[in-house]
Structure 1
Amino acid sequence: MEEPEITIKLTRDEATILSDWLERLQMTDLSNTVDDPTAWAPIHRIAGQLDKVLPALFFPDHDARLEEARRRLRPLDDGSLES
């Protein structure tokens, strides 16, 4: 029996930051961070899907875009997000 797929919704900023984190994670020795080898398949699948839907990841100004996304999602002192 095939399992139904799960859909996760993220803002573009959230997806950009998650993609960057997953990329850095994949560049490490995953066995040191992810102790369950069965978790690697979904990690790689999520990263691949993000690569497909975020073409800006490959733009020359990606680092600046990433920093802007971080700035917008970084909580302010009162716990709210910057708009």
Structure 2
Amino acid sequence: MLGRVRAAMCFTPSPEAAGAWWSEALGAELHREVEGDSVYTWVDVDGMEFGFHMLDEQRNPQDGSPCQVMDLFGVVIGLDGP
């Protein structure tokens, strides 16, 4: 059985904007990692990381899962939105 989920990752055209919005909404510090053109932002809330990656058509096409959860063993579970 799945226990606690540690992280949720969403792909977005603007990780900076998404991260800033959630940071303000949740009252959490915004963290940033920039590597060349790749930007990753995240907020930690009660031991859970909410991360925002650049939308990448090759690795995460639009008809793929817009949000993913990784379990403790590195298994990625996709969550489809409405």
Higher strand share: 2
The structure whose Rg is larger is 1
Same structural fold, with TM-score higher than 0.5 when normalized by the shorter chain: no
The TM-score, its normalising length taken from structure 1, stands at 0.28
Higher helix share: 1
